[in-house]
């Protein structure tokens, strides 16, 4: 398999993971506004906030390869990008597995009590780790001496195809998250929030919707303005839209984390710390690290 095909496959694999991550993140957000959530003990409500934070980190790691490709590598297929895609996806599975286990803890604690919740949470976390890491570590590659990859200049058509793929990596999960955000506004619990929290949730909703608009623009431009033709101008324009879209997405995630955490814990301090912490992590993964790798200091890493 060529380096170009490996990069494309890696991006497709992160697309599969990101949808599941953002759907689960949406569930964790939505559950805070259900009537039964208020009857959970404070520790369980705090666990939901931790699970949301971990899932946000997983989302950040899964989107990072796309930003690395567009910013650090300028759309070129490189060995560094191929390695980074595998590393980011691998690291993302750890907080994903822990967050999945915590989500099962919350559900089982509500239905069957603390003991059953602990057993279910640990079991599903370990099961995910076994399938995602254990089986892979036990299996040995069939190829003992894999051929050395050579970096070649990526054709324009391939760059555009991968740029559109990167938009598709982020788009489905963002759309699922927007759906959960819209549903929340119709719950009775949402009406009981302070006006400032309701306003912040609306701002988060608008931010995610704007991110979706940005992500859908390259495909619309390609078909309507450029009539499906691959040009350097379209590549530059489309790439800017895809690079810009995670900014409002990160702001929307952080804002809703604050609202959900404040609702779950009644702690403004913890909500601010979690929201700002996640926003910092996302900004670092999506912009800080790629910009550093693009610079002279990080070019040879």
Q: Which of 4-18, 89-103, 276-290 has the lowest mean pLDDT?
A: 4-18
Q: What is the mean pLDDT of residues 122-130?
A: 95
Q: Is it the case that residue 146 has pLDDT exceeding 90?
A: no
Q: What is the mean pLDDT of residues 167-185?
A: 84
Residue 230 CB neighbours (<10 A): 15
Residue spans of the domains in the chain: they are 3-139+153-294
35 Cβ neighbours under 8 A, 6+ residues apart: 188, 189
pLDDT for position 105: 94
Residue predicted with more confidence, 213 or 78: 213
Q: What is the mean pLDDT of residues 249-274?
A: 93
Q: What would the 3-class secondary structure string for the chain be?
A: CCHHHHHHHHHHHHHHHHHHHHHHHHHHHHHCCCHHHHHCCHHHHHHHHHHHHHHHHHHHHHHHHHHHHHHHCCCCCCHHHHHHHHHHHHHHHHHHHHHHHHHHHHHHHHHHCHHHHHHHHHHHHHHHHHHHHHHHHHCCCCCCCCCCCCCCCCCHHHHHHHHHHHHHHHHHHHHHHHHHHHHHCCCHHHHCCCHHHHHHHHHHHHHHHHHHHHHHHHHHHHHHCCCCCCCHHHHHHHHHHHHHCHHHHHHHHHHHHHHHHHHHHCCHHHHHHHHHHHHHHHHHHHHHHHHHHHCCCCCCC
Model confidence over 44-66: pLDDT tens digits? 999 999 999 999 999 999 999 88
Q: Is it the case that residue 175 has pLDDT exceeding 90?
A: no
Q: Is it the case that residue 150 has pLDDT exceeding 60?
A: yes
pLDDT for position 119: 96
Q: What is the mean pLDDT of residues 273-277?
A: 95
Model confidence over 78-94: pLDDT tens digits? 888 888 888 998 899 99
CB 272 within 8 A of CB 257: no
Q: Is it the case that residue 300 has pLDDT exceeding 60?
A: no
Q: What is the mean pLDDT of residues 279-293?
A: 94
Q: Is it the case that residue 31 has pLDDT exceeding 90?
A: no
Residue predicted with more confidence, 16 or 108: 108
Q: How confident is the model at residue 137 (pLDDT cuts 50, 70, 90)?
A: confident
Look up the pTM and report it. 0.89
Q: What is the mean pLDDT of residues 132-150?
A: 70
Model confidence over 240-253: pLDDT tens digits? 999 999 999 999 99
């Amino acid at each position: 398999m060529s380096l170009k095909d490996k990069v494309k496959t890696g991006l497709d694999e992160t697309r599969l993971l990101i949808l599941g991550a953002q759907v689960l993140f949406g569930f964790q957000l939505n559950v805070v506004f259900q009537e039964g959530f208020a009857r959970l003990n404070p520790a369980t409500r705090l666990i939901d906030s931790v699970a949301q934070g971990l899932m946000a980190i997983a989302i950040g790691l899964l989107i990072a390869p796309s930003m690395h490709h567009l910013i650090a590598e300028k759309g070129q297929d490189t060995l560094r990008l191929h390695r980074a895609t595998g590393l980011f996806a691998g690291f993302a599975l750890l907080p994903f597995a822990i967050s999945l286990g915590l989500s099962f803890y919350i559900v089982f604690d509500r239905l069957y009590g603390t003991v059953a919740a602990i057993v279910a949470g640990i079991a599903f976390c370990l099961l995910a780790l076994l399938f995602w890491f254990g089986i892979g570590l036990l299996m040995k590659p069939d190829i003992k001496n894999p051929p050395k990859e050579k970096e070649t200049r990526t054709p324009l058509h391939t760059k555009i195809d991968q740029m559109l793929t990167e938009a598709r990596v982020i788009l489905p999960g963002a759309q699922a998250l927007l759906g959960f955000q819209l549903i929340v506004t119709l719950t009775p619990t949402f009406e009981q929030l302070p006006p400032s929290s309701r306003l912040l949730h609306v701002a988060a909703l608008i931010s995610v919707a704007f991110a979706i608009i940005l992500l859908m623009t390259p495909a619309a431009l390609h078909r309507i303005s450029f009539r499906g033709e691959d040009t350097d101008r379209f590549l530059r324009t489309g790439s800017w839209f895809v690079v810009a879209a995670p900014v409002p997405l990160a702001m929307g995630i952080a804002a809703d984390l604050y609202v959900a955490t404040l609702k779950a814990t009644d702690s403004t301090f913890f909500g601010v710390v979690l929201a700002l912490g996640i926003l910092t992590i996302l900004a670092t993964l999506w912009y800080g690290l790629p910009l550093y790798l693009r610079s002279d200091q990080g070019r040879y890493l």
